Each structure stands twice: as C-alpha cells, then as structure tokens.
Amino acid sequence: MTERAAHERVSPPPGSSDRRPAPGTAAAEAGQAQLRSTGAPGKPRFLGVDVTRGVALVAMLAANVWTPLGPDGGPSLAGMTVTGRSATLFVMVAGISLAFISGGRHPMEGRARRAARANIAARAVLIGAIGLALGYVATISVILAYYGAFFLLAIPLVGLRPRTLAAIAGGLVVVSPLILLASYALDWDEAFNQLTLTSPFTDPIGFVQQLLVTGDFPAVTNMAYICVGMAIGQLNLSSAKVAVRLLVGGLTTALVAWSVSWLLLYPLGGVQHLLAAGAGTTPAQVVWDGDEVPSWWWLALNVHHSGTPLDMLYTLGCAVAVLGAVLLVTRLPSARRLLWPIGVAGAMTLTIYSAHTPFAQSDLVAAPLARYLIIIGVALPFAVLWHRYLGQGPLERFVAAGANRARAAVLAAPDRHEAATGPGAPG
C-alpha cells in the first residue's frame, strides 16, 4: 500500500506506445543511477510487483469478508487459502516497495539515502493517519496504522544488504513468538481495540503496545516480513532465475513449515494439549482459528495471524512463492495483458483498501459472496478508469505528494559536511 517513489505509474500493457526502458537495460540502469545519486524519479513501475500487490489486495478483501471458520465449525475456503497469507504477502510487498524507494538493486548513499528515509517517514505518518481516521467507520481491524509503525521501524534498515536483512528476519522468527508467548503469560490486554486518531492521546502506552505486540498485526512479527521484502527488493526481479528461486524456495519453506506443524499437532498430540489449555473447543477451531494461550504447544501452530515460528515461515513461504510465480507469469506478453488490470489495482491498494473497510463486514449485504463480488466489481473498474484518465490513485497521490515534499526538502537543504569544509574541500 505504499507508492514506489521512483515509479509514478503502472507500466502500460504490451502493445501500447509507451517506450520506457525495461529493467536491466542500459537506459533503466542510467535512470537508477540518477535515482541513487539525487533521489529523483528515474524509472517506471515494475508490473510483476504491482500484480503481486494486486493479488494480495484481492486475497485480503476476501479474508476480510469471510470468517476463517464456516457455519459447520470447519474451516471455510477463505480460512484454508487467504486468511493470514494475504496479510503477510501485503506486508512483504510493502517491504519490496521500501527497497525500491531507497534505490532497489543499487541502494542510495549519502544525501539521497537521507532523502529516501525522509520520504519513508512522511509516508509512515500519512498512511498511519489515514488508518487511524478509518478506525471511526471501519468494520474490520485496519492494518494501515500498523503500516505506519512498520515504515518508521524500517527507516534504520534502509541501506542494509539482503543477507543482513534476511538475518534480521530469521532472528525475528525466533524471538518474536517468544515475546508474544510472554505477553500471553503476563496477561497483557489482547482486546483488539479499533485504533483511532484519539488513541495515541487517550492511551499512549496501550496504543504503542498494541502496535508493537498485542494488536492484530503486531510489528514484532510483521517486521520479519518487511525485512524479507526489503531484501527481495534488492534482487534482480527481471531475472527468470531469481523468479524460479523465489518460487521454489518459497514453496519449500511453506511445505516444510506445514509438515512440521502437522507432525507436532497430530502424531505428537499437540492438538490435545492445546484443547486442554483452552486454545479452542474443537480440534478444527484449534488448528484453523485457535486462541492464543500461554502454552509451549502454541508454538506448534501455524494458525493465521498467530505469529508462531511455523505460521511466520509458512505464510512467508507462501508469499515468496506467489511473488516468484507472478514474476514468471508476467514475463509472457499475453499474461501481462490479462493481468494488467490487477496490476493497476495493485498500484492503487491504499485507495481500494481504505474504501472497502466500512463495507467488508457490513450488514448492508448479508451474503459474503455477494458482498465480495460487489467490492471487486466496483474496485477493479474504478482502478482501471481512474488510472486511464487521472493516473495515480487519490490517496496514493496524497501520500506521494507529502512524501516527495519531505524528500525534496532534504535534497534542497545545505549539506552539513559541505558547509563545514567548503565545496570541493578534501575529506
């Protein structure tokens, strides 16, 4: 849900008259060099990433409309496919966007990096404010305020190499579930209160605690997904070899995590221990929509949004695999034409996501399928028409304007080192 600062609109479908350079060409590298040195825009959007973001959007809309469990107490189709996984994909792609903002394959340095950090900080504040404002009308837990926290926490990570970011993500996979488990043992408030513009003032400690640990999308868990996205954003995403590695690596990670969870829960009796601990009233509820409990067996679950190590690895594996698959598919001209509208929606996720929050669980349309089809039926045509005639989405334009002003202010400010030593001075 963040706009890529260096790429102001979605690449047009194949066959159009737009002749912008493709990633990996000399012209594109020159544009990237301009971005790296000056912080100024220099390259079009990457359609594969926009399509992946669009897939995450469509999946998250479904996850917000349907509940994880069906009327019979078993898992719903959404619970088995998109619930939890879509949010991880969303956050991971946000990490890719942060990498793009800060230079992508060629991280910015010096003043340009400081300008990129200012850009990210402004986006964090504006997106977070939009999320808090939506808290007054939303029928679901809004992720945007958490997004603001993720972006602020990501600022010190700008410029780190992929291996360092991957190491941080690995550390969070180990440490963050222990922090969550400790919060359950300490009986921290787990009531997922809707965050609003007054929350930072009426309960500042609870507000920070919810953003970092006890909320629906705690930063202690989701920063691992941000780190993975920032690492991936520095790879050559136009390479088929990279796409295949992402697909195979993601599938392998997801399969191993799911298999380990199954082994612990069924042959080794984890489900029965969790039932006794109060994680649910039926095995299906424990596995597919279980409650958090202060039990070591809770770490064996891969239930959605639980933040267990196996949940984090499973959903991350799924997210990376989806990205790899989309990058491969969008190499085909016919697929690019077919998926271009999804890419347009993916470039407008902030607007579409914000607009759907009052209606996702609304009683205006009782049937979830009808509600979902209405949301999708309005969102996709809106995105295509708005993009065709007006370009960047309305909320995206608002956020980009503020973020670009912050970046421009840093670029225009006198360099402190130059002021101290004089232009052209050594050192």
Instruction: Report d(CA 90, CA 109) in Å as an integer.
Output: 27
- φ/ψ (deg, to 5) at 69: -110, 140
Higher pLDDT, 63 or 12: 63
Residue 223 near residue 153 (C-beta atoms within 8 A): yes
H-state helical runs in 391-426:
394-412, 416-421
182 pLDDT more than 50: yes
Range 72-98 average pLDDT: 94
Q: How confident is the model at residue 416 (pLDDT cuts 50, 70, 90)?
A: low
19 pLDDT more than 60: no
What percent of the chain has a predicted confidence (pLDDT) above 90? 80
74 pLDDT more than 70: yes
Higher pLDDT, 425 or 357: 357
337 pLDDT more than 80: yes
Q: How confident is the model at residue 363 (pLDDT cuts 50, 70, 90)?
A: confident
Domain ranges of the chain: 44-410
Report DSSP state, residue 297.
G
Report DSSP state, residue 21.
P
Cα 248 to chain centroid, rounded: 21
Higher pLDDT, 40 or 144: 144
- φ/ψ (deg, to 5) at 75: -70, 140
The contacts of residue 203 (CB under 8 Å, 6+ apart) are: none
pTM for the model stands at 0.87
Q: Beta partners for 75?
A: 69
CA distances from 159 to 98, 103, 122, 227 (A): 10, 9, 18, 12
426 pLDDT more than 70: no
